Amino acid sequence: MSMNKSIFEENESSVRSYCRKYPVVFEKAKGSYIYDGDGNAYLDFLAGCGALNYGHNNDEIKGAVIDYLMNDNITHAMDMYTEAKAEFIDTFKKDILEPRGLEYRIMFCGSTGTNAVEAALKLCRKNKKRSNIIAFMGAFHGMTLGSLALTTDRVSRDGAGVSLDNVTFVPYETGFHTKLDSLDYLETIISDDHSGVEKPAAVFLETVQAEGGINVASVEWLKKLEKLCHDNDILLVVDDIQVGCSRTGTFFSFERAGIKPDMVTLSKSIGGYGFPMSLLLIKDELDIWKPAEHNGTFRGNQVAFVAAKKAIEFNVKHDLNAAVTKKGEIVKEFVEKNIFPLDDKISLRGLGLIWGIDFGKLENGGEIAHKIADKCFEEKMIIERAGRGDSVLKILPPLTISEEELKKGLEIILKCTKEVLGK
């Protein structure tokens, strides 16, 4: 039986947000579905904002976690040496880094992605002895003050209550400012002694802007950005918190461009089971921390290490990248065939299993996307919006979703879009 929601409404802070979009009390979850207290099944096209790439209660990962807990193994250890950590490091290095020719030291940060971004900010400034950072319009990097300074949406920034400094924003390659050559502009402000912009320590980048509206950087643009950074003694940091862990069809989102960032942030699905975990990957020569110069009580989440190790093994065993790429083609083909004909102003962006259907060019596009998302929820599907004006319907299911479940979700989107557009 469903629980009364009044306990939350009367006691929980008004900052709560997702429960306002999906106002039922959820009880269980499995695979691609979440179930409320009455047993209603909701198809999940949100996947914990990318924290549940391996689905809800993945049996293989769950088994490893249960075995670990039932043997009274250590669960909290700060950053002390443990077998669980050693096994994760070995698996991550052997199965993820070495096959890609990547050499990084692994920093275990606090329990969420924004902490990895904060650590990267500190370390970039410490290395280059410069305070300015370049970030891109449309970026989302987190909600603590440093990462929030890199984030561009007005609502998030307004919550800071203080000035958010030492960041210069440059237009992204795609999205809102498509008429401007963003890297030509960036090169200009770096080289021009009258630009008024301090030389930055680093450029922070999402190769696919998720919250910004599913804006996908091209391979050519990514390569050019890497060269620009290296030619000008500027560090390149890729934020793979939401679009890493095979979300784009490769484990790291930057693999398609063949670039090798100086640092990489990972969180969300690196925890394997929805467990809190965040990493900063650092090129060896940049790892100049003093002991305890950046720390956190929960940077040694042992259960997350166990789940993360098993998740990597699951990823490799099931060739998840190939499956994601194939499912991405299903999304693209379906939207182009069935949703584009509804209005020629509708557009689609994405790759792998992160896609955005953009209604922004329609009059009241944000309201249209809002109504479609609400109708999808009425049809027992969870989906959210992103981008400017929240006009982009965001497709982000678990990577383990079956092709049948994926098509079912796309059919729900089509039905709801037709209803809202009156088609």
Per-residue pLDDT 10s for the chain (423 aa) are 556 889 999 999 999 999 999 999 999 999 999 999 999 999 999 999 999 999 999 999 999 999 999 999 999 999 999 999 999 999 999 999 999 999 999 999 999 999 999 999 999 999 999 999 999 999 999 999 999 999 999 999 999 999 999 999 999 997 666 678 999 999 999 999 999 999 999 999 999 999 999 999 999 999 999 999 999 999 999 999 999 999 999 999 999 999 999 999 999 999 999 999 999 999 999 999 999 999 999 999 999 999 999 999 999 999 999 999 999 999 999 999 999 999 999 999 999 999 999 999 999 999 999 999 999 999 999 999 999 999 999 999 999 999 999 999 999 999 999 999 998
Residue pair 156/114 in contact by the 8 Å Cβ criterion: no
Residue 279: closest CA among 257, 305, 253, 297: 305
Distance CA(14)–CA(212), nearest Å, equals: 24
| 46-71: pLDDT as tens digits | 999 999 999 999 999 999 999 999 99
Question: Which residue, chain included where needed, has tokens 């669960």?
Answer: 75
Q: CA 356 to CA 226: how far, in whole Å?
A: 26
H/E stretch holding 236 reads strand 235-239
Q: What does the alpha-carbon distance between residue 420 and residue 418 come to, in Å, rounded to a whole number?
A: 6
| Residue among 144, 44, 155 at smallest CA distance from 388 | 155
Radius of gyration for the chain, computed over Cα atoms and rounded to the nearest angstrom: 21
Spatial distance between the Cα atoms of 365 and 388, rounded to a whole number of angstroms: 10
309: tokens are: 């190790």
Structure tokens at 59: 């049996």
DSSP letters of 304-353?
HHHHHHHHHHHHHHTTHHHHHHHHHHHHHHHIIIIIGGG-TT-EEEEETT
- Among left, alpha and beta (phi > 0; psi -120 to 50; other), residue 152 is alpha
Beta pairing partners, 168 = 134
pLDDT digits (tens, 9 = 90+) for 225-278: 999 999 999 999 999 999 999 999 999 999 999 999 999 999 999 999 999 999
**pLDDT at residue number 179:** 75
Describe the crossing of helices 302-317 and 320-334 by its angle, rounded to 10 degrees: 70
Angle in degrees, 0-180, between the axes of helices 302-317 and 83-92, rounded to the nearest 10: 30
Phi, psi of 45 (to 5 degrees): -105, 25
Confidence at residue 2, expressed as pLDDT on a 0 to 100 scale? 57
User: Distance between the two ends of the chain, CA-based, in angstroms?
Assistant: 37
Taking Cα atoms as reference points, which of 117, 46, 412 lies closest to residue 263? 117
